[in-house]
C-alpha cells in the first residue's frame, strides 16, 4: 500500500475515533531543530548516556549533565512547535477528538502548540529542585545560575546540588503521571504514536498496553518501530509532513 493510501486510512481511523490518545517521542521535535537521541547524529552519539544521563553518574559528575543541558537549552528556547505538534493541537482544540498527549519529551512544545492535557512521563526541565534541602526552582532561576558560569548550579540556600525534574536513567518515573497515562491508554479507542523508537521502558510499555487492550494504533515514524507489526496503520516518514496531510484528508472526509 502506498503512502497516500495509508494517509487516507489514517484519516479514516481518526474520523471513527472519539477518544484519541497520542504518545510522542523526540522524533516529533526533530523538525523543530531539536535532535532526537538514537538516530544518526542524535544526542547519544555526542553524549554517552551512561556518563551524561544516569542518576548515579549525576551525583558524581553533575557538571556533565549540566553541560549537555546548557547546549540543549539553547535549542529548546529557540525551538517552535512544528506542523506535527500543531496537527495534534488541532485534533484537540478543533475536533475535540484528542483527549491527552503522553510525551517522553521535555521540550514543552506540545503545550506551546496549544494542547491542554500533556502527561510528561519523563519529567520536565521547567522546574528543578535542590537534592539536599528540596528547595524548588523555576527554570529561569537555574538558567541564570548557568549564565553566571555556575556549572553545576548550587542551591543558594544550602549549597546543595540542583537537579532538573527530568527523569534520568535509573530514576523512577513519576508514579501518579504513569498511572494517569495507563488509565488514558485504557480509555482510548485510538493511540497515535509519533516519533519514538519505542525502545525505552517503562514508557514503551504504554503502547504495548494499547495492543494488549485491543486499541486501534496509528504510528508515524521515520524508521520502523517494534510496534509496527501491531499497528492498524504504520506510516514511514517525517511527522511534520505526514501529520498535516492526515489532518487535511480528515477535513475532506468530515466536510
Ligand atoms: N518524524 C518522525 N519520526 C522521526 C523524525 C521525524 N522528523 N525524526 C526522527 N524520528 C524517529 C526516529 O526514526 C526514531 O525512531 O523518532 C524516533 C526517535 O527515537 P529516540 O531517539 O530513541 O527518541 P525517543 O523514542 O523519544 O527516546 C525515548 O529515551 O534516552 C531516553 O529519555 C530519553 O525520552 C527519551 C527516551
Q: Are residues 144 and 220 in the same domain?
A: no
Same domain as 246, residue 162: no
8 A C-beta contact, residue 233 and residue 9: yes
The DSSP annotation for 24-42 comes to: E-GGGGGGGT---SSSTT-
Same structural domain for residues 157 and 251?
no
Same domain, 131 and 242: no
**Ligand 1 pocket check for 200: Cβ under 6 Å:** yes
Q: Ligand 1: distance of its center to the CA of 153 in Å?
A: 29
Give pLDDT, residue 159: 96
Boundary-marking domain end, from 166, 192, 225: 166
Instruction: Kindly report the protein residue whose alpha carbon is nearest to atom 7 of ligand 1.
Output: 238
Residue ending a domain, choose from 114, 138, 166? 166
Average pLDDT over residues 70-83: 92
Question: Are 190 and 247 in a shared domain?
Answer: yes
Least Cα distance to 25 among 122, 170, 140 occurs for 122
Q: Is there a single domain that holds both residue 140 and residue 27? A: no
pTM over 0.85: yes
CB 178 within 8 A of CB 135: no
Does 133 lie in the same domain as 252?
no
| pLDDT value at 9 more than 90 | yes
Find, among 157, 177, 154, the residue nearest to 167 by Cα: 177
Q: Using a 6 Å cutoff on CB, does residue 195 contact ligand 1?
A: yes
The answer to whether 220 touches 193, Cβ cutoff 8 Å, is yes
What's the CA dihedral at 46, 50, 55, 57 to 10 degrees?
-100
Split at pLDDT 50, 70, 90, the class of 189 is: very high
Q: Determine whether the shortest distance from the Cβ of 85 to ligand 1 is under 6 A.
A: no
Closest CA to 88 of 109, 59, 61: 109
Phi and psi at 61, nearest 5°, equal: -125, 65
pLDDT tens-place string over residues 39-60: 999 999 999 999 999 999 999 9
Dist CA 42 CA 146 (whole Å): 24
In angstroms, the CA 204 to CA 238 distance is 20
Question: How many folded domains does the chain comprise?
Answer: 2
Residue range(s) defining the domain that contains residue 91: 1-34+81-122+173-255
What is the chain's Cα-based Rg? Answer: 19
**CB-ligand 1 contact for 168 (6 Å cutoff):** no
CATH of residue 140's domain is: 3.30.1600.10
Give yes or no: residues 29 and 136 share one domain. Answer: no
Residues 247 and 211 reside in one and the same domain: yes
150 CA distance to ligand 1 middle (Å): 31
Whether 122 is catalytic: yes
- pLDDT over 90 (residue 237): yes
Q: How far, rounded to the nearest angstrom, does the alpha carbon of residue 237 sit from its chain's CA centroid?
A: 18
pLDDT band at 85 (very low <50, low <70, confident <90, very high): very high
Distance (Å, rounded) from C-alpha 133 to C-alpha 155? 8
Q: Are residues 150 and 228 in the same domain?
A: no
Residue identifier of the C-alpha nearest atom 21 of ligand 1? 37
CATH of the domain at 4: 3.40.50.1220
Amino acid at each position: 500500500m502506498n503512502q497516500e493510501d495509508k494517509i487516507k486510512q489514517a484519516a479514516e481511523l481518526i474520523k471513527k475515533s472519539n477518544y484519541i490518545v497520542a504518545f510522542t517521542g523526540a522524533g516529533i521535535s526533530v523538525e523543530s531543530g531539536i535532535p532526537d537521541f538514537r538516530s544518526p547524529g542524535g544526542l547519544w552519539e555526542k553524549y554517552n548516556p551512561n556518563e551524561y544521563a544516569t542518576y548515579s553518574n549525576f551525583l558524581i559528575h553533575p557538571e556533565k549533565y549540566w553541560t549537555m543541558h546548557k547546549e540543549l537549552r539553547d535549542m529548546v528556547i529557540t525551538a517552535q512547535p512544528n506542523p506535527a505538534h500543531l496537527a495534534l493541537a488541532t485534533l484537540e482544540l478543533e475536533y475535540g477528538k484528542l483527549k491527552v498527549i503522553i510525551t517522553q519529551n521535555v521540550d514543552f512544545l506540545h503545550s506551546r502548540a496549544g494542547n491542554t492535557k500533556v502527561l510528561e512521563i519523563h519529567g520536565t526541565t521547567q522546574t528543578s529542585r535542590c537534592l539536599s534541602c528540596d528547595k524548588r526552582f523555576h527554570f529561569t532561576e537555574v538558567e541564570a545560575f548557568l549564565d553566571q558560569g555556575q556549572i553545576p548550579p548550587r542551591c543558594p540556600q544550602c549549597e546543595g546540588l540542583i537537579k532538573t525534574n527530568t527523569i534520568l536513567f535509573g530514576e523512577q518515573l513519576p508514579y501518579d503521571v504513569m498511572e494517569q497515562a495507563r488509565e488514558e491508554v485504557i480509555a482510548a479507542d485510538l493511540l497515535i504514536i509519533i516519533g519514538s523508537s519505542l525502545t525505552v521502558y517503562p514508557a514503551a510499555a504504554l503502547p504495548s498496553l494499547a495492543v494488549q487492550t485491543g486499541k486501534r494504533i496509528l504510528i508515524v515514524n521515520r524508521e520502523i518501530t517494534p510496534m509496527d507489526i501491531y499497528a492498524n496503520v504504520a506510516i514511514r516518514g517525517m511527522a511534520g509532513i505526514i501529520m498535516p496531510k492526515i489532518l487535511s484528508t480528515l477535513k475532506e472526509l468530515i466536510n
